[in-house]
């Protein structure tokens, strides 16, 4: 004591939404995330962060209560510090869940917990935020690096080269729950057509993982572009997202696509050989963005 733990945010390079239906997704932990700090106290407590909406505070309170109960009531006061914008598709709740699970389990056991225990507890917290999450967010956060995630299982994907990404923030968006629910309604109504699109996205996820292992950034970029087209076909893109995709491609991105639930806003990824220069150019256009290297430890 005091204890401190970090949970990185994530980006999904390929396969969001399909992953909800059991298909693979390729995701990577990013440099920004959430830090949880714990100090000794009479009873478990959470210092609520500022700037959250009432439903977000509610979900956080429920998630913390679940985590505390499962960790057997460690006597700690927890404080959270987040570098991640909320509800942008960057896995803020997954990162928060991983960081919190790490400090609570460490405090309860007196030793750093195993990754699988962190994942199990973080999943219980994620359910309070998202209902029925695929689990890709908190798993990527807990493992770090790049992972190919499918049906609750994650395989590490070793990258032959650093993967430089510009993450551009488009703006506020509807909740993941809402966007996933609306897509589920369309899928139920026209199952064959939507199944074909999900199957195609699943192939792209596997092809993308192979491209990453070989260091084929050109191929990865092309796969991202095709995935973006299929996400648009699924009704998950919008004018602000498409505008950002084309801006990034205009700056020389090897590939550009939305990341996360998409819909009416969120974040867009641009894959670049030299991401820092492109980020400077994008900021000059007034776009909020940051650079992250995927596949690094
Ligand atoms: O909450 P987001 O924007 O990071 O989206 C997560 C990815 C989805 O596939 C859309 C949902 C899920 O549970 O995997």
What's the number of CA atoms in the CB half-sphere (13 Å) around residue 56?
A: 13
- What is the residue-level pLDDT of the chain in tens, covering all 297 positions? 899 999 999 999 999 999 999 999 999 999 999 999 999 999 999 998 888 889 999 999 999 999 999 999 999 999 999 999 988 999 999 999 999 999 999 999 999 999 999 999 999 999 999 888 899 999 999 999 999 999 999 999 999 998 999 999 999 999 898 999 999 999 999 999 999 999 999 999 999 999 999 999 999 999 999 999 999 999 999 999 999 999 999 999 999 999 999 999 999 999 999 999 999 999 999 999 999 999 865
Is omega for the bond preceding 2 within 30 degrees of 0, making it cis? yes
Q: What is the pLDDT of residue 130?
A: 84
How close is the Cα of 16 to the center of ligand 1, in Å? 6
**Helix, strand, or coil (residue 113):** coil
Burial of 275 per CB tally in 10 Å (0-12, 13-18, 19+): buried
What are the residues whose beta carbons fall under 8 Å from the beta carbon of 221, sequence distance 6 or more? 253, 254, 255, 271
Please give the number of the atom of ligand 1 that sits closest to the Cα of 132. 13
**Mutation probe of ligand 1 site: the residue of 134, 150, 197 with most atoms within 8 A of C-beta:** 134
Structure tokens at 220: 């990865």
Q: What is the pLDDT of residue 296?
A: 67
Q: Strands 76-82, 45-47: parallel, antiparallel or unpaired by DSSP?
A: parallel
Find out whether the beta carbon of 134 lies less than 6 Å from any atom of ligand 1.
yes
Instruction: Tell me the whole-structure pTM to 2 decimals.
Output: 0.95
How close is the Cα of 89 to the center of ligand 1, in Å? 7
Q: Tell me, yes or no, if 42 is annotated catalytic.
A: no
**Helix, strand, or coil (residue 54):** helix
How close is the Cα of 147 to the center of ligand 1, in Å? 15
């Amino acid at each position: 004591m005091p204890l401190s733990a970090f949970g990185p945010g994530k980006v999904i390079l390929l396969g969001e939404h399909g992953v909800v239906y059991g298909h693979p997704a390729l995701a990577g932990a990013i440099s920004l995330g959430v830090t949880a700090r714990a100090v000794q106290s009479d009873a478990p407590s959470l210092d609520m962060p500022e700037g959250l909406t009432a439903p977000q505070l509610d979900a956080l309170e429920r998630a913390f209560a679940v985590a505390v109960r499962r960790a057997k009531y460690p006597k700690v006061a927890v404080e959270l510090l987040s570098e991640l914008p909320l509800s942008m598709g960057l896995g803020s709740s997954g990162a928060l869940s991983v960081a919190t699970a790490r400090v609570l389990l460490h405090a309860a056991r007196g030793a750093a917990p195993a990754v699988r225990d962190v994942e199990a507890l973080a999943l219980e917290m994620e359910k309070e935020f998202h209902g029925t999450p695929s689990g890709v967010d908190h798993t990527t956060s807990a493992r770090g690096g790049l992972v190919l995630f499918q049906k609750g299982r994650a395989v590490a994907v070793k990258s032959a080269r650093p993967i430089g990404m510009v993450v551009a923030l488009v703006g506020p968006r509807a909740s993941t729950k809402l966007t996933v629910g609306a897509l589920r309604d369309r899928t139920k109504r026209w199952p064959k057509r939507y199944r074909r699109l999900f199957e195609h996205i699943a192939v792209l996820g596997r092809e993308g993982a192979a491209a990453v292992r070989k260091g084929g950034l050109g191929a990865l970029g092309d796969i991202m572009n095709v995935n973006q087209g299929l996400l648009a076909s699924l009704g998950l893109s919008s004018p602000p997202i498409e505008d950002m995709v084309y801006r990034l491609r205009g700056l020389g991105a090897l590939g550009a696509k939305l990341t996360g639930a998409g819909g009416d806003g969120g974040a867009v990824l641009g894959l670049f050989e030299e991401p820092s220069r492109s980020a400077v150019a994008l900021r000059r256009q007034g776009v909020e963005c940051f650079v992250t290297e995927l596949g690094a430890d």
